[in-house]
Structure formats: C-alpha cells, structure tokens
Amino acid sequence: MQLWNKLNKEELEVQLRDIGHQYMTLSFYQYAQIPNPHLFRDHLFLMWSKLEVVGRTYVANEGINAQIAVPTKNISEFREELYQIKFLNGIRLNFAVDESEAEFAFLKLKIKVRDKILADGLNDKTFDVTEKGKHLNAEEFNTLTNDPETLLIDFRNHYESEVGYFKGAVRPDVDTFRDSLPLIEKEILKGNEDKNIVMYCTGGIRCEKASAWFKHRGFQNVHQLEGGIIKYARDVIEQGIENKFKGKNFVFDERRGERITDEIIAVCHLCGDPADTHTNCLNSACHLLFIQCETCKEKLDNCCSKKCQDISHLSIEEQKELRKGLNNSNQIFKKGRANHLTYKNKD
C-alpha cells in the first residue's frame, strides 16, 4: 500500500462525495518523546487510511499534532486503535463545534514528519516542554479571568484573533507563534510577574508549550485553558455557564472558522462592512487569505482585487505562463496584511 495520496483537489472532492460519509472533525496533540517519527508516521498512515480518515497531522521527536476528520461510523474503532498507542492512551479529542462552514473540512490524509510539531524558534536544550502550567477547565477559566489581578493573553496570530477572542484578552499583533514568545515576555509579562497569567489558543497546543516556556523563564503563576477555545465552547453549552468568548474561532482546515456566537466583530478587508469569513483569493498566483463579505465576493468572483479577478478569468495555460518565476509566499504568509487590501490598509 502506498503511504501518500496523489489525487488533486477536484478529484478528491468527487471521491468524497461518491463515498458519502458523514465526518466528525476533531483535533488532538501530545508532547512526548518519539524515537523514530518516520516509522510512527507510516504506522499512523496505514492505520488511518484503513479507517478512511482525512486531515493533516505533524509528527516529530517532541510529539504529535493532529487535525483530522473521521467517518462517524468509524469513530469508536478510531478511538480504540488510537488508545492502543501507549502515550496516546486516554488522550482528549477536541471535537468541532460547528461543521457547517464547508462541505469537507479536509480532502485527504496528510501526515508529515517535522523537526517540531510546533515551530517555536527556541534553542534551549535545558527546556522541558512537559513542565507545563496549570490547566483550567471552563468554569475555573471564567472565575480566574474575572479577577483584576489576572492577565489574559491570546496566543494566536493576528488574523485569528481578528474574528473572535475572549473579553478582556490582550491580543498581540503577531504573525507566528515563534514571534509571540519573545514579544509577550518583553512587552506584556515584564513587570507583571506577580499576576496570574492565563493563556489560551485554538486547541491548547500553543499554550501548552508557552506555559512550559514561561515557567522555565521563571514565571510562577502560569495557567492555560484546557483544550483551548474548541473545548471551552462545548463545555459552556453543556454546563450552562457564561460564555466569555465572542465571535468566531478561526480553524486551520477548509472551514476556516467555527461560529461560537452571533457577534461579527471583524470587517471586510475590501469595503469595511461587517464580515468575519476568511477566504483564499481564487487567483492561484495570489491565494491570499483575507476577510471578504458576500457583496465583495460576488463582485470580485472570490478574488482580493480587480487584477486578480482578471487573471482568474484567463485560461489555465495563460495563468501558468503568468506565474512563471513568481514567488508570492511572503504575501500569502502575511494573511490579511497585503498592501492592496483597500479597507484593511486605509489608515
């Protein structure tokens, strides 16, 4: 059996429709010592292919980070086989709050071996990522963040917190997790050593490493929201407690967001109307991630500018010719910071 998938996006969509499965989107992570991540990767690929799992997973010596979708009929078998892996036995699975934002959250199974499951820019061999801060459940999180002596920090990137965040949170204007660690220590934590530090992210993986890092750096009262926004959103509903999150939770799959509350706190990057739907520009040479309202989406055919719209109307061969020698990775990486986003950059 081959250990990778070679179909393109269109072929994958047709294949998934023909199969007709109902999927449950979930995520999990675990920091652990994996001596041979390549062997472990192949084991997972064979096991999950058999269960028709799709999604994206990273494996490294430091652990595993998975964002996947499992056919509903195979959930029990998936959980049983996953829990047979010693360091994953009993691992918490974060199930999606809202499955309605896209037809398929993922189109194929991708499992990649990386140097780290979460790039952090750190090079300190004395740092132990398992020495994490205290986990808080939803009720404990609400109680502690009501305390004026608590510092609540959003550990996500600027384009994530733009569409949704917890009330009272400090939201650093950063592009990556590796950017956030030095900036937060220098500009937010310095001088607040005696305060309770509470951090949150999408599913917990960034806060887990950050809490361990800041404990390593000498901060004492370090806490993190267990299971991140995904688990919190489910728990407040099930437990009937106050929901302190407002807006949408950005997620890294085809849905690009889970609706947590009806509040729309962001605006279209092109016209300024209320909007919180992220889209990728239809022009393959651009593919910029930005926020677009339905009116601008219809006007520009899902593109970020008239220029990209014109290019998207060309033949595939003409588009390929225009892309030769171009490298737009820096623009794509900036996610919503491109200079031509008229309203976003009006100041």
- Whole-angstrom distance, CA of residue 98 vs CA of residue 230: 10
What single-letter DSSP state applies at residue 175? S
Query: DSSP secondary structure string, 121-154?
Result: ----TT--TTS--EEE-HHHHHHHHTSTTEEEEE
Cα maximum dimension of the chain: 61
Neighbours of 40 (CB within 10 A): 17
Which H or E element spans position 110? strand 109-113
Q: How many CB atoms lie within 10 A of CB 95?
A: 15
- Sign of the Cα torsion 169, 175, 176, 181 reads negative
Handedness of CA 138, 140, 142, 144 (dihedral sign): negative
- The catalytically annotated residue of 201, 281, 286, 304 is 201
Report whether 291 contacts 269 (CB < 8 A): yes
Query: Minimal CA–CA distance to 119: which of 194, 57, 206?
Result: 206
Tokens describing residue 183: 């900036």
201 is known as an active-site residue: yes
The residues that are catalytic are: 201
